Structure 1
Amino acid sequence: MQAWVVPGYTETRELGSGGSGRVVLAVHEGTGIPVAVKYLSDRLRSDPAFVREFRGEARLLGALHSPYVVGLYEYVEAPDGAAIVMELVDGIALRELLKQSGRTGPEAALVVLKGSLLGLAAAHRAGVVHRDYKPENVLVAADGSSKLVDFGIAAGRDTTPGVAGTPAYMAPEQWQGRPASPAADVYAATATFFECLTGRKPYGGGNFAELALQHIEAPVPDAEAPEPVRSLIRRGLAKRPEERPENAEAFVAELESIACAAYGPDWEERGQRKLAALAALLPLLFPSAAGTPASTTAFATTSLWAPGRRGWLGAGVALVLGALLIFTQASATDRVGEPTELSAFATTSAAPPGTGPTGSAAPSGSPSGSPSSSASASPSAAASASASPSASSSPTTTPGAPATPTPATPTPTGKPPTMPPASPAVTVKAVRVSSFRQTGFTAAQVTLAVDASGPATVRLEWFSSSSPGTLGAAEGSTTFSSATAANTRTLTFAGQGCYWHVRATTTPPASSGAATAYLTISRCQIR
């Protein structure tokens, strides 16, 4: 029997598969935008707990808006299947880089840690704890940038969802099923940082019980790391959560201070170049390649396990029993966890950088921006939105288009998102750049404010140069419809200048003229 396909998409090839489902590369038929679609397996789709968990994953993704976290388009749940439609990250898992090179070097490891922490920081600000940070869940793009994926077992801060995670990266308190906290994510990110530096995991127990005791009691192996970053290892792998940075954002501040002092102001640029070079050694693993499919997200069947005692010794005893009862078929690198019950919801959905604003997303058969609907639950590995199958009407979001209301039945039109032309009666008083900041080595975020009597067409252009007084080389442009509300876009730069510029114009022209702004990028700032 032919597998169910999300309406409005054409599958290109499979990117990976596992116990919980599969991820495919697909193209939205109306716009031609490539996406990653994560399908929940038929076996798990019949389990209400797993359906709730994947809805929860989509809900969490929809609440996160960060260039360091994979973006969500929509969550689709239908009688024949469930899927999460996500931003396609043309990158490879950090795990593959480590398999190829063994280690990355300190500057590249710091770049991975910083990008990961910034992604975790977005989750922590939203009250979400990832709980399964590991090299498999970090995707490295061709330019050396990275994104965090797979929020499949994420939980709300201070909730107690049970023992879950990947044993090699689980914080001591995770082994005991204590409340989820950002400090546990900091621990897992530091364990991955250690692996990038040394080529091995911090602790190498041969079974779950031994691994648990090492994470709980063994000394932090910071002496194996380069001396300048040992303090980061000690802080991030501290046994007690209160001895670690309280969240990812606080850890980033410590990292930047230490990295600059140890490796100079250009450490990030050099580290990102090193990651790009490592990724270039594995061209066939990129989703855009036509070679052998390679998974861009980790799959693992979530197991149920709740320790009967909470003490340090009790955790070790419970682990031994748990290993005998539950983990006989698992290795020390398998993910273990417990389904988290989440209620139905309508999600917000992230559009691809530079293509459109963020809107609400719900069951939909097409991200074309035209009315459509569908009831379905789906797995997500990169970007998607989700909603309860009981919802009879909810908004839908198209890659690159604002959200629009949807009817109760799927009616994908296949039409690309279009922008309404400005009415001749519209007058624009002013357009201004209310915010312009660098968010990554090659990325910036700009927010525009348009004071107009109705919808106007906005043209945004961005440039790079070696002088704050000249626009310099054109880097890109986009056109979109806007009203009086603020409009935020993520821009990508390739130029080598120290100054990034933006220019915004409107149709009809604003009486105040064009709006321009510039910033000095971080690698050129005096420190």
Structure 2
Amino acid sequence: MSNGWTVPGYTEVRELGSGGSGRVVLAVHDATGTAVAVKYLSDRMREDPAFVREFRAEARLLGGLVSPYVTGFYEYVEAPDGAAIVMELIDGISLRAVLLESGRTDAEAALVVLKGSLLGLAAAHRAGVVHRDYKPENVLVAANGSSKLVDFGIAANRGTTPGVAGTPAYMAPEQWQGRPASPTADVYAATATFFECLTGRKPYDGANFAELAVQHIEAPVPETEAPEPVRPLIRRGLAKRPEQRPENAEAFVAELEAVAVAAYGPRWEERGQRKLAALAALLPLLFPSAGGAAAGTTAVATTSIGSGWAPGRGGWLATGLSLVLGAVLVFTTDAAGGTPPGSSALSDFATTSPGAPSPPTPGPSQTAPSGSPSPSPSGSPSPSASASPSPAPTPTPTAWPSTGTSPSWSPTPRPTFTWSPTPTPTPTLRVTELDVSLKPGAYRADAAVSLSTQGSGPVTVVLQWFLGDAQGSYTVPDGTDTVVVRAGAPTTLVQSHTFPRGRGCYAGVRVTTKPAAANGTASDSQLLARCTDLEPPR
């Protein structure tokens, strides 16, 4: 897996976990003695430029997030012999390990878990980033009962359409469709995890991907299985339509606090944190500070089914069956949310971190294979270790170099090195065909855009919306949406738009791309359902 390369300026102490994509080690920063977690990309993955770009993007994303509820970032180093992310080291265990041991938590402890990791999501959402893989494996519980969010390996910019990705048991309906990344999908996954804390089981238990897809999209929200006072949170967070959920994690935190105070009083969080700490204390050997042996890590599902394909409601059974065929090949976690051994994905090791001796020092964590508890990156704003503080590297990332070069900076003075990869010819990016079809509702319409491309790189899709009084009359502009997709296989994306009342009966959309498609533009207009009684006889 490794050629023996290590990040200069750090001394490796021990391996914390490994997986198909790489390994995570506990190391010490030579200049300050600070313990850190170093996440190495495997040699096999480094041979694929796409994986290297994604690994680099994860580092860039972490460098832009400053929050006590998100794993801290120190530096990213890339050289001819390796690539690594140096991160905060935190003493704690995964929420999955807690649930495997205890089965469930009470409502106050579950609310504490939800609030802590939602605050981590809120930091990402403010930065325009969607996590896309919130689940118990990616929530860390510290010894003091605080929680933190980790592993942004498959995060995406809000509004982009990176395809179907996530862990099936926690994926929002729109994720199954490959719709643009949205904070409301993270809210859904966080609520699914909250439900699991409360009940000991996932909201939906489909035996295969077909059943699971249909349940997430159509089955009633199982709110009655949760304690009555928190059912409004379950109902809101697991709503089928994104617009029926809180718009982002920050909005959901406000709703959570209102419900929690009304139901459990103003000291609910203090009690919940104590209860959560007591549950974590049942697993002392899983804390990185215990110095246990490295464990296999939990795979993160970096799945991709097609390219944002989204069938109509009437075809969901066929959708599910098709998902089964694709998911057998690409899902790295099973329908129950577990992880098969030996799975490999872009981030199929969790960001792990043992406890650091200094309060500002981030810390690694460990995760375990499905079915057995094992240390995980723990998100406590301040490590619980009692050792005296020591200076920590100061996270001061500099500006990232332009695309195609390899960033390298350090938080404290040490020998630095950079490299410039040998340029490789990139096929000219072309959009060979563009098409759009409009499916109207009463006051909204869904545009299904299909495009075929050659070469590699991002394609910008611009949708201009119109209203008119006759079919094909694009007379009243009603906004523009811009979506970026990745070139490759034929791609279909679905974009929805809501029209104002009383401004025309025909919805229209005109689509262009950059680079321009061979056929220039594509357009369609259809009669809105609210005006069907006005349609002239044929």
Same fold (TM over 0.5): yes
360, 365, 368: which one pairs with 2:397?
360
The residue identity in structure 2 corresponding to 1:305 is: G
Alpha-carbon separation, structure 2, partners of 1:264 and 1:131: 32
Q: Corresponding residue for 2:458?
A: none
The residue identity in structure 1 corresponding to 2:178 is: G
Aligned length: 374
Q: Corresponding residue for 1:156?
A: 157
Q: Corresponding residue for 1:67?
A: 68
Tell me the SS of whatever aligns to 1:31.
coil
Q: Corresponding residue for 1:396?
A: 409
Structure 1 residue 315 displacement after superposition: 5.1
Q: Corresponding residue for 1:147?
A: 148
The residue identity in structure 2 corresponding to 1:359 is: T
Cα distance change of structure 1 residues 243 and 33 upon mapping to structure 2, 3 Å threshold: same
Q: Corresponding residue for 1:28?
A: 29
Structure 1 residue 404 displacement after superposition: 9.7
Cα distance change of structure 1 residues 99 and 65 upon mapping to structure 2, 3 Å threshold: same
| RMSD of aligned Cα (Å) | 2.9
Q: Percent same amino acid at aligned positions?
A: 72
Alpha-carbon separation, structure 1, partners of 2:121 and 2:50: 25
Q: Corresponding residue for 1:510?
A: none
Alpha-carbon separation, structure 1, partners of 2:228 and 2:22: 43
Q: Corresponding residue for 1:234?
A: 235
- Does the aligned pair in 2 maintain the 1:77–1:389 contact within 8 Å? no
Which aligned pairs between 1:44-193 and structure 2 lie closer than 5 A? 44-193=45-194
Alpha-carbon separation, structure 1, partners of 2:136 and 2:143: 16
Which aligned pairs between 1:333-372 and structure 2 lie closer than 5 A? 333=337, 352=362, 355=392, 358-361=395-398
Q: Deviations for 1:154-195, whole angstroms, at most 9, x for unmatched residues?
A: 011111111000000000000000111100000000000000
Structure 1 residue 292 displacement after superposition: 3.3
- Does the aligned pair in 2 maintain the 1:191–1:237 contact within 8 Å? yes
Cα distance change of structure 1 residues 200 and 326 upon mapping to structure 2, 3 Å threshold: closer
Cα distance change of structure 1 residues 194 and 135 upon mapping to structure 2, 3 Å threshold: same
**Any gaps of 5 or more consecutive residues in structure 2?**
348-359, 363-381, 383-390, 421-538
Cα distance change of structure 1 residues 68 and 81 upon mapping to structure 2, 3 Å threshold: same
Alpha-carbon separation, structure 2, partners of 1:51 and 1:267: 44
Cα distance change of structure 1 residues 241 and 122 upon mapping to structure 2, 3 Å threshold: same
Q: Corresponding residue for 2:4?
A: 3
Q: Deviations for 1:380-429, whole angstroms, at most 9, x for unmatched residues?
A: xxxxxx8679548x67242xx5x89956479xxxxxxxxxxxxxxxxxxx
Q: Deviations for 1:222-241, whole angstroms, at most 9, x for unmatched residues?
A: 00000100000000000000
Alpha-carbon separation, structure 1, partners of 2:291 and 2:393: 29
Alpha-carbon separation, structure 2, partners of 1:285 and 1:339: 25
- Does the aligned pair in 2 maintain the 1:139–1:148 contact within 8 Å? yes
Alpha-carbon separation, structure 2, partners of 1:303 and 1:3: 31
Structure 1 residue 307 displacement after superposition: 5.3
Alpha-carbon separation, structure 2, partners of 1:270 and 1:127: 33
- Does the aligned pair in 2 maintain the 1:161–1:338 contact within 8 Å? no
Q: Corresponding residue for 1:305?
A: 306
**Any gaps of 5 or more consecutive residues in structure 1?**
341-349, 363-385, 411-527
- Does the aligned pair in 2 maintain the 1:26–1:37 contact within 8 Å? yes
- Does the aligned pair in 1 maintain the 2:167–2:301 contact within 8 Å? no
Q: Corresponding residue for 2:38?
A: 37
Q: Corresponding residue for 2:270?
A: 269
- Does the aligned pair in 1 maintain the 2:408–2:418 contact within 8 Å? no
Structure 1 residue 89 displacement after superposition: 1.4
